[in-house]
């Protein structure tokens, strides 16, 4: 991939940076600024080089038009605090305010354009519409740096099309993400263990299929585990279940056995009467979850089992929590697995935490981020790399 060094002397140049500032909000309060902090090395590198930095990003899923609750105003304020100087926020994406804001930049300053998804052309399936927005974004800059790893799997105007117009390069974050995830997809050091959790098997079908040809062990937790238990013929009570995926999962179990891949499932489950933080709950054997109860976490024996399966691993990829970690009563499984990964990392393993809920769990549960080898900022993008797919926003930087 082309790097920032390939862009030459950037002093006085306007550099458009695609960042990923899709942070969680409580009203107008950012509850996890991890993605903003992850963008700082690239932004600081550019400002130190004297560039006039124009950042474009999205937040949430507005329907292609301005929506105040998805404004990037809280992001601009927090980014300014982290950078140590004000960040001007344009009131539109590429309109008069954006043009005026960019024109007012001096060397080493940063401006943020309003939520790029306020413009329906950003995510259009019509090439000409995306290309039109990309041309208007490109008119605001002299070069483009792609640093929003969380969106590089999307063929969108500010990710893909603008890179075809301007001199372009990958930012430091994107380079770090691709390099780290490649260690888990291209000749990983073995044993290679993958921990998969989250709600649905269907979200990870391609990943599981690919890992059955690459990993040595798959540890399955989260809501998706109940489809695996059902495929083995066990009752799952009222737990989350994708009935239409049972046959697919049964095929995975057969493929794993044929390929010598160990699939590790929980042996006990924390089952609750309802989905609530204070729901009455009990620990039950994984193969006999009572009717009328739902599994909301893996049990203590399962946590210990999973940790033992990670202890000798040399490469570990983790994507998805083991339970409803947001509720204290159902966070123990995720905590135990996270600690198991940390222990393996301290013993020499290379560990990757997939983005999204896994990264959020690390921060919410109070773990030291530095205890893992790499914490990804992109949930969907990291999954697609683990799946072996080509990502449009990466491919366009290598042309």
Q: Which residues belong to the active site? A: 35, 200, 356, 380
Q: Is 58 annotated as a binding residue?
A: yes
Q: Is 357 annotated as a binding residue?
A: yes
Residue with tokens 């893992």: 372
Q: Is 78 annotated as a binding residue?
A: no
Residue with tokens 């690459």: 214
> Residue 108 — left, alpha, or beta (φ > 0 → left; ψ -120 to 50 → alpha)?
left
Q: Is 378 annotated as a binding residue?
A: no
- Residues 16 and 148: their CA atoms lie apart, in Å, by 12
Q: Is 61 annotated as a binding residue?
A: yes
Residue with tokens 């940076």: 17
- Residues 115 and 256: their CA atoms lie apart, in Å, by 44
Provide the H-helix boundaries in the chain.
34-48, 73-83, 96-103, 127-138, 172-182, 205-211, 225-231, 246-259, 300-310, 332-346, 357-364, 379-387, 392-395
- Residues 366 and 105: their CA atoms lie apart, in Å, by 38
Q: Is 130 annotated as a binding residue?
A: no
Please choose, from the candidates 245, 195, 246, 243, the residue with its C-alpha nearest in 3D space to the C-alpha of residue 222. 195
Please choose, from the candidates 286, 178, 283, the residue with its C-alpha nearest in 3D space to the C-alpha of residue 231. 286
Distances in whole angstroms, Cα of residue 229 to Cα of each of 182, 234, 266, 332, 351: 31, 5, 9, 20, 27
- Residues 23 and 65: their CA atoms lie apart, in Å, by 19
Q: Is 295 annotated as a binding residue?
A: yes
Kindly report the number of other CB atoms within 10 A of residue 175's CB atom: 19
Q: Is 20 annotated as a binding residue?
A: yes
- Residues 245 and 228: their CA atoms lie apart, in Å, by 9
Q: Is 59 annotated as a binding residue?
A: yes
> Residue 5 — left, alpha, or beta (φ > 0 → left; ψ -120 to 50 → alpha)?
alpha
β-pair partners for 144: 16, 168
- Residues 297 and 40: their CA atoms lie apart, in Å, by 35
Q: Is 372 annotated as a binding residue?
A: no
Q: Is 355 annotated as a binding residue?
A: yes
Q: Is 21 annotated as a binding residue?
A: yes
Please choose, from the candidates 219, 223, 204, 208, the residue with its C-alpha nearest in 3D space to the C-alpha of residue 264. 219
Binding positions: 20-22, 35, 58-61, 117, 154, 204, 295, 326, 355-358
Binding positions for ATP: 204, 295, 326, 355-358
Binding positions for (2R)-3-phosphoglycerate: 35, 117, 154
Binding positions for substrate: 20-22, 35, 58-61, 117, 154
């Amino acid at each position: 991939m082309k790097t920032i060094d390939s862009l030459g002397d950037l002093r006085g140049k306007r550099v458009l940076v695609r960042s990923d500032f899709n942070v969680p909000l409580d009203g107008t309060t950012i509850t996890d600024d991890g993605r903003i902090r992850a963008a700082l090395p690239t932004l600081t590198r550019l400002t130190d080089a004297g560039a006039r930095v124009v950042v474009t990003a999205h937040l949430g899923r507005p329907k292609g038009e301005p929506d105040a609750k998805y404004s990037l105003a809280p992001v601009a304020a927090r980014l300014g605090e982290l950078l140590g100087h004000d960040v001007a926020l344009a009131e539109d994406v590429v309109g008069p305010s954006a043009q005026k804001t960019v024109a007012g930049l001096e060397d080493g300053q940063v401006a943020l354009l309003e939520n790029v998804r306020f413009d329906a052309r950003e995510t259009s399936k019509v090439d000409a519409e995306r290309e039109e927005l990309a041309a208007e974004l490109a008119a605001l800059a002299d070069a483009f740096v792609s640093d929003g790893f969380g969106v590089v799997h999307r063929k969108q105007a500010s990710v893909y099309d603008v890179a075809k117009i301007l001199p372009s390069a990958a930012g430091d974050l994107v380079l770090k993400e691709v390099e780290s995830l490649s260690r888990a997809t291209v000749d990983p050091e073995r044993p290679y263990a993958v921990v998969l959790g989250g709600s649905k098997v269907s979200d990870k079908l391609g990943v599981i299929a690919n890992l059955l040809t690459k990993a040595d062990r798959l540890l399955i937790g989260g809501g998706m585990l109940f489809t695996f238990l059902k495929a083995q013929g066990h009752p799952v009570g009222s737990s989350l279940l994708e009935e239409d995926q049972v046959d697919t999962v049964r095929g995975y179990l057969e493929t794993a056995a044929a390929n010598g891949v160990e699939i590790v499932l929980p042996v006990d489950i924390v089952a609750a009467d309802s989905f609530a933080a204070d729901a009455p709950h009990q620990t039950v054997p994984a193969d006999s979850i009572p009717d009328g109860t739902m599994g909301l976490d893996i049990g203590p024996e399962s946590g210990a089992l999973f940790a033992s399966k990670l202890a000798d691993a040399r490469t570990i990829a983790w994507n998805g929590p083991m339970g409803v970690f947001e509720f204290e009563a159902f966070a123990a499984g995720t905590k135990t697995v996270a600690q198991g990964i940390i222990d393996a990392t301290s013993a020499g393993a290379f560990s990757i935490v997939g983005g999204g809920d896994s990264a959020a769990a690390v921060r919410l549960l109070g773990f030291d981020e530095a205890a893992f080898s790499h914490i990804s900022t992109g949930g969907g993008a990291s999954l697609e790399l683990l799946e072996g797919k080509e990502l449009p926003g990466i491919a366009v930087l290598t042309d």
